[in-house]
Amino acid sequence: MARNICFCAAITAVLISLCIAATLDIPIYRQHLIVGDETRGKSIKASETKPNPVWHNDTIPLQKFMDAEYFGIIRIGSPAKNFKMVFNTMWGDTWIPSAHCGLFEIACMTHTRYDSSRSSSYQEDGTIFSTGDTANDLQGFVSRDKFRLDHLTIENQSFIEMTHIPWIPYGLSKADGIIGLGFPDLRHIKAPSFFTNMLKQKLINKPMFSFYFNRDATTERAGRLVLGAPDRKHVNESTLVTVPVIGKLYWNIKMDRMVIDVRDKSHPFCKDGCEALLDSSTNTIVGPRDEIQLINDLLGARSFVPAIFKMDRYMVNCREFAKLPPINFVIAEKTFTINSKYYVQHLTYESLEICLSPFVPSDEKFWQLGGAFLMEFYTEYNFDHGQVTIGKTKF
């Protein structure tokens, strides 16, 4: 009984995390893209020392939480304090929980909170913030402080100190907050975004970032985010395709179609082309309700919907999911295939297990391609050119 309760708690945490989409604590590894410090760990003479290298990009190691969310560490304030942050292509702003949360703000109190009184580099702004969404309202106020990466420091970065964070969907999220990587027009506040500030302060040379995700299920390493540079070490360059972004708000591109072959029959979706938003914050693939229902039927998935979560998730047979068909996404007339070994979310706790389809229905007409798609592909995002580059990852 106790084991079942623990597993249910774990599944509850995952389901909460999967809701985050408005949705990787120890740095695992880091690839230095400009220069390396080959003297680390060696004794050197004063005459042999060299000036510190000038960095024009930085790398953030990513971790994953039960394949449901991906986050990395940002250090904020002086002295610096670690925050686990989701780098979210679906958001324009940056926010973290505030020490000014009320005692009954459970989602805030259970995460790392920012206390301006303990940071000597804090700067007051005070602008009031609210998403205005009655069902999922976030409330707080704007502040400024230093944001520190491994090699770069962003000065006077504006962010939202959240004082009200809904329990659903944020309460059991592993991450503390969000750094928005959407286009500037997606911001709720007027101050420069995290990425815009990096450019304005000449910390990076190129107005781009790139994601590489690690699909190894045996590790919490989830890959890395590179800010200001491409990172094509793990991509098959012959598979790269570059497509324009539609509208420069979200990172949404045109998807030509999607095809699933089952029992020698092809089942097309998005037949006349459709918009697809690339979503780094979650592991799901979201699409129009009628098409998602048909896809889940083809996968033999059955509904798994705890009513309190106000979400639609489907389960597949854990003993059979490896036999599920590959799914083909056609973008710029090039086919990108994902396999069930990676697109099914396989959760285990001792001898108990559950397997979730990544396909989640929505009342919107566009698609959102999250980690179930991104896990098998390398992606580059270029602000100035308004384009996304996608290629097959080498493992």
For 118-130, the pLDDT digits (tens) are 999 999 999 999 9
Same domain for 156 and 266, yes or no, is: no
The whole-number pLDDT of residue 17 equals 45
pLDDT 10s digits, 273-318: 999 999 998 889 999 999 999 999 999 999 876 544 556 889 999 9
Structure-token pair, residue 130: 């609210």
* Percentage of the chain lying above the pLDDT 90 cut: 66
The whole-number pLDDT of residue 188 equals 92
The whole-number pLDDT of residue 53 equals 59
- Cα–Cα distance between 74 and 52 in angstroms, integer? 22
Same domain for 126 and 251, yes or no, is: no
Q: Does any domain span residue 314?
A: yes
Q: Does any domain span residue 70?
A: yes
Contacts of 92 (CB under 8 A, 6+ apart): 180, 182, 183, 184, 185, 186, 187, 188, 193
Closest alpha carbon to 365 in 267, 266, 255: 255
Centre a 10 Å sphere on the Cβ of residue 353 and count the other Cβ atoms it contains. 12
Same domain for 308 and 161, yes or no, is: no
- Find the range with the poorest average confidence among 42-56, 313-327, 376-390: 42-56
The whole-number pLDDT of residue 378 equals 96
Q: What CATH code is carried by the domain that includes residue 128?
A: 2.40.70.10
**Which residues, in sequence order, are bridge partners of residue 88?**
180
Domain boundary among 193, 227, 261: 227
Average pLDDT over every residue of 81-93: 96
The whole-number pLDDT of residue 218 equals 73
Q: Does any domain span residue 28?
A: no
Same domain for 211 and 287, yes or no, is: no
Mean pLDDT of the chain: 84
Q: Does any domain span residue 80?
A: yes
**Amino acid, res. 45:** K
Domain span at 104 = 57-227
- Cα–Cα distance between 226 and 210 in angstroms, integer? 5
The whole-number pLDDT of residue 215 equals 73
Structural domain total, the chain: 2
pLDDT 10s digits, 337-355: 999 988 998 877 677 788 9
The whole-number pLDDT of residue 22 equals 31
* Percentage of the chain lying above the pLDDT 70 cut: 84
Please give the full DSSP string across 284-309, using - where no structure is assigned: -EEEEHHHHHHHHHHTT-EE---GGG
- 3-class SS of residue 181: coil
The whole-number pLDDT of residue 394 equals 84
The whole-number pLDDT of residue 306 equals 54
**pLDDT range class, residue 134, cuts 50, 70, 90:** low
Instruction: Judge contact between 71 and 174, C-beta under 8 A.
Output: yes
**pLDDT range class, residue 45, cuts 50, 70, 90:** very low
- Cα–Cα distance between 228 and 395 in angstroms, integer? 23
pLDDT exceeds 90 at position 21? no
Q: Does any domain span residue 68?
A: yes
pLDDT 10s digits, 197-222: 999 999 999 999 999 988 777 777 88
Q: Does any domain span residue 39?
A: no
Contacts of 218 (CB under 8 A, 6+ apart): none
Same domain for 264 and 386, yes or no, is: yes
Instruction: Judge contact between 178 and 22, C-beta under 8 A.
Output: no
Contacts of 67 (CB under 8 A, 6+ apart): 217, 283, 345, 346, 347, 371
Q: Does any domain span residue 3?
A: no
Contacts of 261 (CB under 8 A, 6+ apart): 267, 325, 326, 328
Same domain for 204 and 256, yes or no, is: no
- pTM, rounded to two decimals: 0.85
Q: Which of 12-26, 43-57, 152-166 has the highest mean pLDDT?
A: 152-166
Q: Which residue has the higher pLDDT, 249 or 67?
A: 249
Contacts of 51 (CB under 8 A, 6+ apart): none
